[in-house]
Amino acid sequence: MTRIALIHALSHSVAPVNAAFERDWPEAVRMNLLDDSLSADLARGGKGLDAAMHERFQRLAQYAVDTGAEGILFTCSAFGPCIEAVAQRHAGIPVLKPNEAMAAEAAQGQGRLGLIATFAATLVSMPPEFPPGIALEPMLAEGALDALNAGDTQRHDALIAAQAAALRERGCTRIALAQFSMARARAACEAASGLPVLTTVDSAVRALRLRTDQALR
């Protein structure tokens, strides 16, 4: 069976991606690595994705490979350059950024894409990952991550859904939820906006399964 490493920087990302694997790729053997200080350090450190942060990602990835991982999926969207460096070092296996599969799927659609995040740094790092030509309308759902951290999932979902409705009013024709922890708000966003909603979780699991199968042939 295929062994997949899931590397998380937010504890809230663990459940959504594991649920997606249970639904779409139950045969995969999953290992979950969580360092929830990564996002906290990035948010308060003021140093950005410096050499020390890159080294932390390399160490996490090497541990995963050493345990036999045949594919790696990172689930936090604010660390794109760190993940790209990991992919270069471990070119023999699929290494996915959390957003790249969704970005590829978004490129197949039409019209302006509303991109909602609950972590401000994501709206800095993620837009360059989309293919050229996609018109993006970024939006921060302020207070949603704090609500999730406090266990108020209903408020978390409602704050995100409110931004989805606002993006529809700005002319967006579809919505993308930028973080794995936001996947739970998909139905609320669809109801509030009436628009199709992409999630990084579902896109990533589909893409990783395809790439891993190709790599193992």
For residue 133, the model assigns a pLDDT of 87
- Nearest-angstrom CA–CA distance, 217 and 215: 6
Look-up of token digits 């410096």:
50
Q: Is the pLDDT of residue 145 over 80?
A: yes
Half-sphere exposure of 141 (CA within 13 A, CB side): 31
Tokens of 110: 């039409």
| Residues paired with residue 43 on neighbouring β-strands, in sequence order | none
> Residues with Cβ < 8 Å from 214, sequence gap 6 or more?
none
Q: With beta carbons less than 8 A apart as the criterion, state whether 95 and 83 touch.
A: yes
HSE-CB for 10 with a 13 A CA cutoff: 25
Summarised one tens digit per residue, pLDDT across range 27-39 is 999 999 999 999 8
pLDDT tens digits, one per residue of 162-197 = 999 999 999 999 999 998 889 999 999 999 999 999
Which pLDDT score is estimated for 99? 87
- Per-residue pLDDT band at 122 (split at 50, 70, 90): confident
pLDDT tens per residue across span 46-96:
677 899 999 999 999 999 999 999 999 999 878 888 999 999 999 999 999
What integer is the mean pLDDT of 101-118?
92
